[in-house]
């Protein structure tokens, strides 16, 4: 496994603030991995995302993206490799229509028009937004706008896709569709795409390869989703939600039912429940 992103002792404080938003952060993310970053509001997750494509520059420490050190000279090289989808679907829609928005990043890079047209079509096809190519943002739903945002990142063929709470403002359907879409992309591109998803959504985090917990600007926990989510007390201490299956397990335990200790998904718990009842 080759690391694609590594941070060593990164500290960042916003101007005019007393406490740093991120403190002495060191971590590595491997090529092709899907990492979920969780943490309560104001824990520094979004700051972390912005550091990764040099929207913010670290005060101390060093960030390396695909062997390129994040410095001002390398800023545009890094932004070519890191694509970002932000939280608010309205505020990141630059173009006047769907196709214009997808083309915006390529316009910035001076891609010739013929190539631009074929890449816009391909990217819209990929997120199933082709019939909407001429639509204006005001006539799209939140979920559709976010799919356009993904398409405009894909058109730039990035190595790393960062979802900075990209599903936070969507309804449950839009959220599920979007996660399914990213899963599909990931399955198709395999190790060529690294996904970093910054989220509050437990289900989204549970589908990652690895979960990192950031609390008050520090990396406090990293591990498989099963390891992180099995520890309900700790999740509560960090101000995070506990998955439904874990909540149910706790309630069952209170009623004297002996449930397994390891993490179970909702489906896993259903399987365990019917097995244990029918064997009684």
Binding site for another protein (CB under 8 A): 50, 53, 55, 76, 79-80, 82-84, 86, 88, 90-97, 99-100, 103-113, 116-117, 120, 136-138, 152-153, 156
DSSP lists the bridge partners of residue 164 as: 198
The Cα–Cα gap between 78 and 66 comes to: 9
End-to-end CA distance of the chain: 45
DSSP lists the bridge partners of residue 215 as: 218
Determine the distance from the C-alpha atom of residue 193 to the mean position of all C-alpha atoms in its chain, rounded to a whole number: 12
> 78 or 205, CB closer to another protein?
78
Closest alpha carbon to 196 in 87, 85, 61: 85
Q: How far is the CB of 95 from another protein (least distance, A)?
A: 7
The Cα–Cα gap between 265 and 260 comes to: 12
> 44 or 243, CB closer to another protein?
44
Q: How far is the CB of 41 from another protein (least distance, A)?
A: 16
> 103 or 202, CB closer to another protein?
103
Q: How far is the CB of 167 from another protein (least distance, A)?
A: 16
Closest alpha carbon to 97 in 113, 120, 114: 120
Place of tokens 């894909």: 154
> 19 or 138, CB closer to another protein?
138
> 1 or 138, CB closer to another protein?
138
Q: Is 218 helix (H, G, I), strand (E, B) or coil?
A: strand
- Whether residue 182 contacts residue 174, with contact meaning beta carbons closer than 8 Å, is answered with no
CA torsion sign for 75, 78, 79, 82 is negative
Q: How far is the CB of 243 from another protein (least distance, A)?
A: 30
Q: How far is the CB of 162 from another protein (least distance, A)?
A: 9
The Cα–Cα gap between 71 and 75 comes to: 6
> 88 or 191, CB closer to another protein?
88
Q: How far is the CB of 150 from another protein (least distance, A)?
A: 12
């Amino acid at each position: 496994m080759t690391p694609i992103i590594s941070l060593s002792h990164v500290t960042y404080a916003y101007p005019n603030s007393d406490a740093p938003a991120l403190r002495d952060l060191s971590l590595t993310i491997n090529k092709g991995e899907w990492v979920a970053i969780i943490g309560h509001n104001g824990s520094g997750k979004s700051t972390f995302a912005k550091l990764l494509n040099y929207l913010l520059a670290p005060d101390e420490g060093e960030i390396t993206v695909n062997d390129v050190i994040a410095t001002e000279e390398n800023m545009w090289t890094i932004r070519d490799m890191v694509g970002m989808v932000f939280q608010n679907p309205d505020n990141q829609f630059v173009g006047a229509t769907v196709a214009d928005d997808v083309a915006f990043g390529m316009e910035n890079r001076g891609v010739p028009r013929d190539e631009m047209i074929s890449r816009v079509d391909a990217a819209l096809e990929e997120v199933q937004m082709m019939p909407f190519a001429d639509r204006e943002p005001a006539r799209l739903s939140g979920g559709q706008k976010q799919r356009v945002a993904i398409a405009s990142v894909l058109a730039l063929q990035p190595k790393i896709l960062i979802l900075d709470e990209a599903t936070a403002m969507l309804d449950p359907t839009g959220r599920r569709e979007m996660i399914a879409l990213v899963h599909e992309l990931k399955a198709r591109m395999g190790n060529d795409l690294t996904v970093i998803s910054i989220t509050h959504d437990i289900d989204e985090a549970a589908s990652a390869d690895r979960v990192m917990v950031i609390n008050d600007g520090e990396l406090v926990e990293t591990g498989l989703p099963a390891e992180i989510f099995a520890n309900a007390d700790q999740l509560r201490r960090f101000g995070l939600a506990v998955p439904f299956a874990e909540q149910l397990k706790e309630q069952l335990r209170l009623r004297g039912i002996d449930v397994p200790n390891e993490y179970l998904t909702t489906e896993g718990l259903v399987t365990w429940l019917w097995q244990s009842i029918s064997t009684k």
